[in-house]
Amino acid sequence: MIVDRFVFEQAPDSILRIDAQGRILDANSSACLWLGYPRDELLTRSIWQINPNWSSKRWNGLWQRLNELSLVRAVEAFSHRDGSRLEVDLSIRLFSLGEASEVVLYAREAASQVDEIDELRHLRELLNVAESISRIGHWRLNVATGRPQWSSQVFAIFQRDPALGEPSFDQHEHYVASEDWPRLRDAVTRCSEQGTAYAITVGIRREDGSSGTARVYGSALPRQDSNSADLVGFVLDISEQAETEKHLIRTQQRLDIALDASGTGVYWANIQTGKAGADARYFAMLGYAPDEIVPTIDWWRAQLHPDDAVATLDALERAIRGDQDDFQGEYRMRHRNGHWVWIEDHGRICERDPSGRGSCACNPTSPTEPGLAKTRKLMSFLPKRWSIATIAG
């Protein structure tokens, strides 16, 4: 049997197996119920006995068409055993295995198709709403004709009037930044010729003259009626995210300049897990390369000078406990070469757990001289008109 028996019997659609002479070779349970025949009786019939509109001549013509197309769809009226007419949608396929060939006819009542069409229409409406909210649109490209299909959200992303229809593939160049178009065109070509899926970030140009950024995804989808493939995918408008990322990058660059100029390094720690991290400036203060060690809170404690450890850890615990948000300290840490380096630390508890205990800390630090932090603190209480000379005199 060319068609798997289990699939054949369990299929919800009515299925008939028919030979080149139009004889019914087999019928699944759904087909017997649909036509009102016991299986044994149905297998004594020919296709034109259950469909009066067909004849042996028409069947021979259909067989020839199936040799060319492999799949034929039609709407036909079949005869129930009680004489009533049953309008159905048919999908007719030709299967061959060696010298054996047979037609497999799939039938579904037209009424159920109407319900499915309504359901598909409802799902399409939900999809349009979801795409609008997420600013993502789907598309399909017929490689043979070069004509795409856009969802309504793709039209919205590029601000193209849907009444104009979709542009041809070559006309997509108008909507993609000139420096990105060759990459996208080459990716589409590889996908159509080799089946290689792609995901590319490109600059986009809208009909109103504004620009933005989109992430374009594509994949090959084999066509059922030919050996060729369509391309399918979606476009995600990430213009807002891209602008935010650019802003964050600019902010980080400015922060790096300021930290470099002041010689300030930064370390951060998850107090609950004990994990920590630091930037290159912090490691450099202690003589390490950034990838030379994996810092932890225990590692940090171990580098503290014994004479400074008790006071430093006590001040840190007060901040963790919630007595204060800030942690300020001046202490010595062991340099990679073995000597001690004075550190001025201005940390802050940036996250707390539900009980109020600190769970995450961020600490800008800089090298200093012993007592310099205390001198700065004392000077902050003096009138601004006083000078260093006044203090010294």
pLDDT at 163 over 90: no
Given this model, what pLDDT does residue 383 score?
Answer: 46
Kindly report the number of other CB atoms within 10 A of residue 222's CB atom: 10
3-state SS of 191-203 is: HHHHCCCEEEEEE
Is the domain spanning 263-379 CATH 3.30.450.20? The answer is yes
329 vs 207, 312, 316, 319, 343, CA distance in Å? 58, 6, 9, 12, 8
* Cα–Cα distance for residue pair 187/200, rounded to 1 Å: 8
Quote the CATH superfamily of domain 5-113: PAS domain (3.30.450.20)
- The band of 306, judged by pLDDT with boundaries at 50, 70 and 90, is very high
pLDDT: which is higher, 45 or 358: 45
DSSP string, 154-179: HHHHHT--GGG-PPPTGGGGGGB-TT
- The band of 387, judged by pLDDT with boundaries at 50, 70 and 90, is very low
pLDDT at 225 over 90: no
Q: Mapping DSSP to helix (H, G, I), strand (E, B) and coil, where does residue 187 land?
A: helix
| Range in 40-44, 208-212, 263-267 the model is least confident about | 263-267
| Mean pLDDT over each residue of the chain, to the nearest integer | 83
Given this model, what pLDDT does residue 262 score?
Answer: 67
pLDDT at 288 over 90: yes
263 vs 159, 284, 285, 377, CA distance in Å? 49, 10, 9, 20
pLDDT at 386 over 50: no
Architecture of the CATH domain 135-242? 2-Layer Sandwich (3.30)
The first and second tokens of residue 153, run together, are 């959200």
Cite the residue boundaries of each domain of the chain with CATH code 3.30.450.20: 5-113, 135-242, 263-379
Given this model, what pLDDT does residue 379 score?
Answer: 40
Decide: 19 and 25 in contact? Cβ < 8 Å. yes
pLDDT at 206 over 70: yes
Rounded mean pLDDT of 108-130? 72
Given this model, what pLDDT does residue 233 score?
Answer: 93
Given this model, what pLDDT does residue 244 score?
Answer: 85
pLDDT at 5 over 90: no
| Range in 10-24, 177-191, 299-313, 357-371 the model is least confident about | 357-371
pLDDT at 119 over 50: yes
Given this model, what pLDDT does residue 110 score?
Answer: 63
- The band of 136, judged by pLDDT with boundaries at 50, 70 and 90, is very high
Decide: 42 and 70 in contact? Cβ < 8 Å. no
The model's pTM: 0.47
Burial class (CB in 10 A: 0-12, 13-18, 19+), 95: middle
Given this model, what pLDDT does residue 370 score?
Answer: 61
Decide: 391 and 292 in contact? Cβ < 8 Å. no
pLDDT: which is higher, 122 or 309: 309
**Residues above pLDDT 90, as percent of the chain:** 30
- The band of 79, judged by pLDDT with boundaries at 50, 70 and 90, is confident
End-to-end CA distance of the chain: 110
